[in-house]
Structure 1
Amino acid sequence: MKRLIKLVLVTALLIASAWAAFAKEPPVDLQPATPAHQKTIGVLLFPGFEMLDAYGPMEMWGNLKHAPAATWGGEEKKVGIRLITIAAKRGEVASNQGPKTMADYGFEDAPQFDYLLVPGGLGVIPLLQDKATLNWIRARAGKAELVMSVCNGASLLAAAGVLDERPATTNKMFWKHSTDPGPKVKWVKKARWVDDGNVVTSSGISAGMDMTIAVIGKLYGKELAAWLEQLTEYDAHRDPSWDPFAVKAGLVRD
């Protein structure tokens, strides 16, 4: 009986200590205030987009609002992230997997944004010849601070001329089809993602999350990137050259 009481008391003390630590510096800001600084990310949607290409990175960016000030390095360094979705026309856009996502804006009324994210998917293929989409990407990418692509979203960037004479990567399982639209691109076969300053491209589907973690770490600090990994329980790959799928696809030798 005494041992049971002792165990209960020890457990209670541990819980109290944990709650005290939480109250002093909560690991998650449940009621975040609007920061003085804000960045807007425009996410391009189109019929047949790959869900994880878009939602994987959006999950990461969207959770930054819950990072405590200390993780940012101080309240004054916090940056609010606003995610907006854009399609040729405002309204529902069906993904390759079926579920639909609401596009907040169309090409004509989309506001200016700081970062552009272009996902991939089977829906990319018909858009490679769509002048309206390519012109919009070319114009908006030229004004954005940062352009990111996942999977064969790089094909759209390439077709729009955004990747000309730049290193980039894309989906490894469909390498030839994904790289054909960019004869002037310096395609990197073995890369999980390629960071070329204001343009960052990533490999197939899940690679978009690794790329996003790396970009966040570069822009806002490794501590914040590590916090985000813990929050999402995601084991991110930190080496951009880690790409076993290039080997499996027969693009390079192990």
Structure 2
Amino acid sequence: MEDTMKQMRLRGIVIRLLIMSAFIATALPAAARTDKPPTAQETLYERQPAPAARQITVGVLIFPGFEMLDAYGPMEMWGTLKHAPAKVWGGEEKRVGVRLVTIAAKRGEIPSNQGPKTMADFSYDNAPPLDFLVVPGGLGVFPLLNDPATMNWLRAQAGKAGIVMSVCNGASLLAAAGILDDRPATTNKMAFHPSTAPGPKVKWIKKARWVDDGTVVTSSGVSAGMDMSLAVISRLYGKDIGAWLERVTEYDAHRDPSWDPFAAKAGLVE
């Protein structure tokens, strides 16, 4: 009986050893694979992109007292486009290069509402032809509402640029210039009434993150300019490009133009 028990215990030990050996034999190749250097991964961001088949120029109007994120949020989105790999574009022949320029009444350093200055690359007189124009808002908008040079320059750009975009009360400038007459548009909700006053003929929309009216796109306050920019870029170049921009900028975008909790907080809607 005792011999039988010893044989059973010995058999159990042998079986466990065989199982352990099999497990180790299976695990070692996997571990070896883990330790190997990773294979070349797909390029997500072209650090030094080659010249693209097509080039566009995006101009950003700046003025004393402009709101920094109104301008720099869209600039981040448009300026990053050139780093998208050809595969995201759908082929090398579809890649678009972006030239981003800043424009003011006069070339030079322009103080923002927050304090830091931004260099205006061009003045109204020597600005290059623009494919797209971004007009930010800020406290500095109000002195420009009756400035003939700014109004004339905006009207001229609206007739040439493919799309004119505004952020926050940058829409007030477009309204004062008559660019928004009889068109739907939106603006900052916390300052909705003073912002809409220059545009009695505009079809102001109280609740909207942004309003896309084809050649003119307006957005709500400050951060809304990034959502608007992503929406316009996605419309022009495809959702894959928009999704890529969200990923590389680590930005959780609002994709619904009607999303606007700030309209209720401002008492504009119930």
TM-score over 0.5 (shorter chain): yes
Q: 1:110 aligns with which of 127, 139, 146?
A: 127
Which residue does the alignment assign to 1:185?
202
Larger gyration radius, structure 1 or structure 2: 2
Which residue does the alignment assign to 1:94?
111
In the TM superposition, what whole-angstrom CA distance separates every residue of 1:197-249 from its partner, at most 9, and x where no partner exists? 01000000000000001001000000010011000000000000000000100
TM-score (structure 1 length as normaliser): 0.93
Which residue does the alignment assign to 1:59?
76
Identity over aligned residues, as a percent? Answer: 71
For residues 125 and 220 of structure 1, what CA distance do their matches in structure 2 show? 34
For residues 36 and 73 of structure 1, what CA distance do their matches in structure 2 show? 13
Q: 1:219 aligns with which of 217, 236, 247?
A: 236
Secondary structure of the structure 2 residue equivalent to 1:117: strand
Q: 2:142 aligns with which of 94, 119, 125?
A: 125
Which residue does the alignment assign to 2:101?
84
State the superposition RMSD in angstroms: 1.6
Shift of 1:10: 4.7
Number of aligned residue pairs: give it.
246
**Structure 1: which 4+ aligned runs deviate by more than 3 Å?**
4-11
Structure 1 stretches lacking a partner, 5+ long: none
For residues 250 and 12 of structure 1, what CA distance do their matches in structure 2 show? 60
For residues 72 and 29 of structure 1, what CA distance do their matches in structure 2 show? 12
Letter paired with 1:219 = L
For residues 156 and 190 of structure 1, what CA distance do their matches in structure 2 show? 20
Secondary structure of the structure 2 residue equivalent to 1:212: helix
Q: 1:50 aligns with which of 67, 74, 88?
A: 67
Letter paired with 1:96 = N
Q: Report whether the alignment pairs 1:16 with 2:38.
A: yes
Structure 2 stretches lacking a partner, 5+ long: 1-23
Secondary structure of the structure 2 residue equivalent to 1:16: coil
Q: Report whether the alignment pairs 1:151 with 2:173.
A: no
Secondary structure of the structure 2 residue equivalent to 1:98: coil
Letter paired with 1:132 = A
Secondary structure of the structure 2 residue equivalent to 1:143: coil
For residues 32 and 179 of structure 2, what CA distance do their matches in structure 1 show? 63
Which residue does the alignment assign to 1:167?
184
Q: Report whether the alignment pairs 1:198 with 2:215.
A: yes
In the TM superposition, what whole-angstrom CA distance separates every residue of 1:114-145 from its partner, at most 9, and x where no partner exists? 10110000000111111111111111111111
For residues 29 and 169 of structure 2, what CA distance do their matches in structure 1 show? 60
For residues 194 and 236 of structure 2, what CA distance do their matches in structure 1 show? 32
For residues 128 and 256 of structure 2, what CA distance do their matches in structure 1 show? 34
For residues 35 and 203 of structure 2, what CA distance do their matches in structure 1 show? 60
Q: Report whether the alignment pairs 1:240 with 2:249.
A: no
Shift of 1:11: 3.6
In the TM superposition, what whole-angstrom CA distance separates every residue of 1:142-192 from its partner, at most 9, and x where no partner exists? 111110000000000000000000000000000000000000000000000
Letter paired with 2:35 = A
Which residue does the alignment assign to 1:139?
156
Letter paired with 1:179 = T
Shift of 1:7: 8.3
TM-score (structure 2 length as normaliser): 0.88
